[in-house]
């Protein structure tokens, strides 16, 4: 054990900068202490012990007392990190306590030994100075981040409708005249009146827009026209406890400017678009309006910066990826649907005519999972109704032309072409329902290395535009095919578990050792993909139609596949890294740098470093459960 921890300590900076002679002279004077879980290494207010503590294994919490007499964790120290530096060179008292969160081994460097090494080993001195400077930089970065964040409302998408709705609500019956409604709007200074039945259940809405439209009708008489004739039926009705993020997605989907809030079917409040935007500091609904108003694909380019502003507002408001994903997916879906309508019209002008059959556009990969939080490579496909005999070539030619136009439009908006050509412009990904079924069966009977990778992209497909029943039929074919070929899931499990987790034997984050990404970690391939691949496997086995990783985890928990504790931990871990990736993307956009999935963990805040490490520990737990369930060692 002694040799093992010495070897680990030798690899830690600043000891890694020592010469062999320096290390030999130093290692005999280093102390090692093992702290049981919950034990204190030092306490707040105690005088300096004259040691710098390096975590070899385990995890250390830095805690401070609160006004209520409790303790609050303010930072964490993982393997290869140090603590106790604030009073190391002084005789001051510790400003915080340090506590072992789990069994922890620390290497203790005394002040006397450190000063001698700094004199005799210049490389050691420079390495230690770099570590201390980096710690100061991290502290300042966190101070700046916290000060900025404190100016923004925390967790804006977690507010409930009852917090922002207006009451009491002005209502009327369908038999009321428009003159009565106009009087209510004017007297109360409101923009809408809710139409209700005798039991108070919402039936529709009358807004200023309906009134203006009615007034332009020849022979209009406000005392004769009733609300029933002009009201907007089927309003968006939600409960008071609905999260504002869910309301926002609903308004985007329905292009609604009002939400009727009802408790047990009785109207109790109303939320306008202005209320929602004020509470969120967002402009998502206006982005949709701009999409719908666009008359050319080129005009849609102006929407992309607006969507990015929505993202910035959400991230600054401390929304998480789980909260942001559904909203961004809806915005990107709207863009795609609009592009398809443009492409159809352009093909018609070019002499192709209208679509020869019903079809459905599919988004795959992260887009299919509603986790494409910013423009990345395209992954899409197209499925069309089976052509009559002799019409196969004509049908395929049309839909390939449609696929080419839309993928080109998407590329112009910033969604780059897929390097592997997983796009609807490729005949392999643009097929009739019959061809898709046959091709799927061929994949499942003869899975190869290349198709295993493509299947993982394909299995996350989600319909975006067109005849959704075609996608439902394809989904049914997937479940039946996997049921007939259960060995495919085992093969996919082997592939998922063959991807090594960047987690060391002492649960420390492992980074690249050489190359252009030395000291860095790939957040996508090193962390996120482990959650995506394993959760997908269980979802396919259970025939769960949801494609979002978060929704799949919920469904799996409901079926008892995962415990409530595991589900919560997997969701929290995946969400934390996905959110971190989005923050890094936006930061690099501001800096004018190209985005990369690689990050140096030491350049992250201590909170993000801890979240990253915990995510990898959670992924290891998910790996274990996957191997056990699919009997893959």
Question: Which residues of the chain form CATH 3.10.580.10?
Answer: 160-269
Tokens representing 200? 């108070």
> Across 391-477, where does the E strand assignment appear?
430-432, 462-466
C-beta separation of 345 from 310 below 8 A = no
Task: Please determine, for residue 600, whether its predicted confidence score (pLDDT) is greater than 70.
Answer: yes
Q: What are the φ and ψ backbone dihedral angles of 294, each rounded to 5 degrees?
A: -60, 135
Pick the CATH number of 160-269 from 3.40.630.10, 3.40.50.720, 3.40.1410.10, 3.10.580.10: 3.10.580.10
Question: Which residues of the chain form CATH 1.20.120.330?
Answer: 486-633
Tokens representing 439? 């091709």
Please give the Cα distance from 516 to 512 (Å, whole number).
9
Name residue, tokens 């002279």: 25
Count CA within 13 A, CB hemisphere, residue 328: 31
Task: Please determine, for residue 424, whether its predicted confidence score (pLDDT) is greater than 90.
Answer: yes
Pick the CATH number of 486-633 from 3.40.710.10, 3.30.365.10, 1.20.120.330, 1.10.3720.10: 1.20.120.330
C-beta separation of 166 from 183 below 8 A = no
Q: What is the pLDDT of residue 279?
A: 56
Q: What is the pLDDT of residue 293?
A: 83
State the pTM of this model.
0.69
Question: Which residues of the chain form CATH 2.60.120.10?
Answer: 2-149
Calculate what percentage of the chain has a pLDDT beyond 90: 57
Task: Please determine, for residue 144, whether its predicted confidence score (pLDDT) is greater than 90.
Answer: no
Strand partners, 205: 194, 232
First to last CA, the chain: 28
Q: What is the pLDDT of residue 627?
A: 96
Q: How confident is the model at residue 99 (pLDDT cuts 50, 70, 90)?
A: very high
Please give the Cα distance from 365 to 346 (Å, whole number).
28
Q: Evaluate the omega torsion of the peptide bond into residue 168 and state whether it is cis, within 30 degrees of 0.
A: yes
Averaged pLDDT of the chain: 89
Phi-psi region of 302 (alpha: psi -120 to 50; beta: other; left: phi over 0): alpha
Name residue, tokens 């009559």: 388
Count CA within 13 A, CB hemisphere, residue 208: 6
Least Cα distance to 102 among 507, 576, 620, 624 occurs for: 507
Q: What are the φ and ψ backbone dihedral angles of 15, each rounded to 5 degrees?
A: -65, -30
Please give the Cα distance from 75 to 404 (Å, whole number).
51
Q: How confident is the model at residue 273 (pLDDT cuts 50, 70, 90)?
A: confident
Better-scored residue on pLDDT, 365 or 199: 365
Average pLDDT rounded to a whole number, residues 65-94: 81
Task: Please determine, for residue 462, whether its predicted confidence score (pLDDT) is greater than 60.
Answer: yes
Q: How confident is the model at residue 292 (pLDDT cuts 50, 70, 90)?
A: confident
Kindly report, residue by residue over 572-587, the tens digit of the pLDDT: 999 999 999 999 998 8
Q: In 10 A of CB 234, how many CB atoms?
A: 10
Q: How confident is the model at residue 68 (pLDDT cuts 50, 70, 90)?
A: low
C-beta separation of 180 from 225 below 8 A = no
Q: How confident is the model at residue 337 (pLDDT cuts 50, 70, 90)?
A: very high
Task: Please determine, for residue 181, whether its predicted confidence score (pLDDT) is greater than 60.
Answer: yes
Kindly report, residue by residue over 118-133, the tens digit of the pLDDT: 999 999 999 998 888 8
Q: What is the pLDDT of residue 210?
A: 84
Strand partners, 259: 271
C-beta separation of 570 from 562 below 8 A = yes
Please give the Cα distance from 503 to 619 (Å, whole number).
10
Range of lowest pLDDT (104-118, 273-287, 296-310, 434-448): 273-287
For domain 2-149, which architecture applies? Sandwich (2.60)
Please give the Cα distance from 377 to 380 (Å, whole number).
10
Least Cα distance to 204 among 171, 175, 174, 234 occurs for: 234
Based on the number of CB atoms within 10 Å of its own CB, is 68 exposed (0-12), middle (13-18) or buried (19 or more)?
exposed
Using CA atoms, how far residue 61 sits from 39, 84, 609, 611, in Å, is 10, 12, 13, 13
Task: Please determine, for residue 252, whether its predicted confidence score (pLDDT) is greater than 50.
Answer: yes
Average pLDDT rounded to a whole number, residues 5-23: 91
Q: How confident is the model at residue 281 (pLDDT cuts 50, 70, 90)?
A: very low
Task: Please determine, for residue 189, whether its predicted confidence score (pLDDT) is greater than 50.
Answer: yes
Range of lowest pLDDT (321-325, 503-507, 621-625): 503-507
Task: Please determine, for residue 109, whether its predicted confidence score (pLDDT) is greater than 60.
Answer: yes
Better-scored residue on pLDDT, 388 or 252: 388
Calculate what percentage of the chain has a pLDDT beyond 70: 94
Q: What is the pLDDT of residue 154?
A: 45
Q: In 10 A of CB 334, how many CB atoms?
A: 23
Strand partners, 192: 207
Tokens representing 463? 């319909």
C-beta separation of 371 from 325 below 8 A = yes
Range of lowest pLDDT (63-67, 296-300, 326-330, 507-511): 63-67
Q: What is the pLDDT of residue 396?
A: 97
Q: How confident is the model at residue 468 (pLDDT cuts 50, 70, 90)?
A: very high
Better-scored residue on pLDDT, 290 or 99: 99
Average pLDDT rounded to a whole number, residues 606-630: 93
Task: Please determine, for residue 7, whether its predicted confidence score (pLDDT) is greater than 90.
Answer: no
Better-scored residue on pLDDT, 481 or 164: 481
- State the Cα angle at 333 between 328 and 334, rounded to 5°: 100
Q: What is the pLDDT of residue 147?
A: 45
Task: Please determine, for residue 140, whether its predicted confidence score (pLDDT) is greater than 70.
Answer: no
Continuous H helices in 57-121? 111-120
Please give the Cα distance from 603 to 610 (Å, whole number).
12
Please give the Cα distance from 59 to 43 (Å, whole number).
16
Better-scored residue on pLDDT, 586 or 151: 586
Q: Evaluate the omega torsion of the peptide bond into residue 166 and state whether it is cis, within 30 degrees of 0.
A: no
Task: Please determine, for residue 146, whether its predicted confidence score (pLDDT) is greater than 70.
Answer: no
Q: What is the pLDDT of residue 341?
A: 94
Please give the Cα distance from 254 to 149 (Å, whole number).
32
Q: What is the pLDDT of residue 1?
A: 56
Q: In 10 A of CB 264, how many CB atoms?
A: 8
> Maximum Cα–Cα distance for the chain, whole Å?
102
Kindly report, residue by residue over 205-245, the tens digit of the pLDDT: 998 888 888 887 787 888 888 999 999 998 999 998 888 87
Average pLDDT rounded to a whole number, residues 563-580: 95
Q: What is the pLDDT of residue 157?
A: 58
Q: How confident is the model at residue 151 (pLDDT cuts 50, 70, 90)?
A: very low
Average pLDDT rounded to a whole number, residues 431-455: 88
């Amino acid at each position: 054990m002694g040799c093992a921890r010495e070897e680990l300590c030798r690899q830690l900076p600043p000891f890694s900068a020592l010469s062999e002679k320096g290390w030999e002279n130093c290692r005999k004077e280093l102390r090692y202490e093992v702290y049981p879980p919950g034990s204190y290494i030092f306490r707040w207010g105690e005088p300096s012990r004259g040691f710098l503590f390096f975590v070899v294994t385990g995890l250390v919490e830095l805690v401070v007392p609160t006004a209520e007499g409790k303790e609050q964790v303010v930072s964490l120290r993982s393997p290869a990190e140090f603590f106790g530096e604030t009073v190391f060179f002084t005789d001051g008292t510790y400003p915080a306590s340090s506590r072992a969160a789990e069994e922890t081994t620390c290497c203790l460097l005394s002040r006397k030994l450190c000063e001698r090494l700094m004199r005799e080993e210049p490389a050691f001195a420079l390495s230690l100075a770099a570590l201390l400077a980096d710690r100061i930089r991290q502290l300042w970065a966190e101070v700046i981040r916290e000060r900025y964040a404190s100016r923004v409302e925390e967790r804006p998408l977690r507010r409930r409708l009852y917090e922002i709705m207006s009451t009491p609500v002005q209502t009327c019956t369908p038999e009321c005249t428009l003159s009565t409604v106009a009087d209510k709007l004017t007297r109360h200074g409101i923009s809408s009146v809710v139409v209700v039945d005798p039991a108070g259940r919402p039936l529709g809405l009358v807004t200023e827009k309906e009134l203006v439209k009615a007034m332009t009708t020849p022979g209009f008489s406000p005392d004769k026209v009733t609300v029933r004739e002009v009201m907007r039926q089927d309003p968006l009705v939600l409960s008071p406890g609905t999260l504002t993020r869910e309301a926002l997605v609903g308004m985007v989907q329905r292009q609604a400017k009002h939400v009727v809030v009802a408790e047990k079917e009785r109207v109790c409040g109303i939320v306008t678009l202005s209320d929602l935007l004020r509470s969120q500091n967002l402009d998502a609904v206006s982005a949709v309006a701009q999409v719908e108003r666009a008359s050319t694909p080129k005009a849609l380019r102006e929407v992309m910066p607006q969507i990015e502003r929505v993202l910035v507002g959400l991230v600054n408001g401390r929304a998480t990826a789980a909260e942001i994903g559904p909203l961004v997916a809806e915005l990107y879906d709207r863009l795609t649907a609009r592009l398809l309508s443009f492409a159809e019209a352009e093909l018609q002008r070019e002499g192709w005519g209208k679509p020869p059959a019903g079809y459905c556009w599919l988004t795959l990969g992260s887009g299919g999972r509603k986790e494409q939080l910013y423009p990345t490579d395209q992954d899409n496909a197209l499925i069309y109704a089976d052509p009559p005999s002799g019409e196969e070539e004509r049908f395929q030619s049309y839909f390939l032309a449609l696929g080419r136009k839309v993928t080109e439009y998407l590329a112009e908006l910033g969604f780059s072409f897929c390097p592997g050509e997983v796009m609807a412009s490729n005949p392999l990904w643009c097929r009739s329902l019959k061809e898709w079924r046959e091709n799927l069966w061929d994949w499942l009977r003869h899975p190869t290395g290349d198709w295993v990778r493509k299947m993982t992209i394909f299995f996350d497909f989600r319909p975006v535009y067109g005849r959704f029943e075609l996608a439902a039929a394809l989904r049914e074919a997937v479940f039946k095919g996997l049921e007939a070929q259960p060995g495919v899931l085992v093969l996919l499990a082997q592939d998922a578990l063959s991807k090594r987790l960047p987690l060391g034997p002492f649960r420390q984050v492992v980074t690249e050792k050489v190359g252009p990404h030395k000291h860095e970690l790939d957040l996508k391939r090193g962390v996120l993909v482990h959650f995506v691949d394993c959760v997908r496997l269980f979802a396919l086995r259970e025939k769960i139609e949801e494609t979002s990783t978060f929704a799949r985890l919920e469904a799996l928990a409901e079926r008892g596949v995962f415990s409530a504790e595991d589900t919560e931990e997997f969701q929290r871990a995946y969400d934390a890294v996905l959110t971190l990736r989005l923050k890094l993307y936006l930061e690099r956009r501001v800096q004018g740098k190209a985005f990369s999935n690689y990050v140096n963990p030491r350049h992250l805040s201590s909170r993000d470093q801890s979240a990253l490490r915990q995510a990898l520990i959670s992924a290891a737990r998910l790996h274990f459960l996957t191997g056990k369930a699919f009997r893959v060692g």
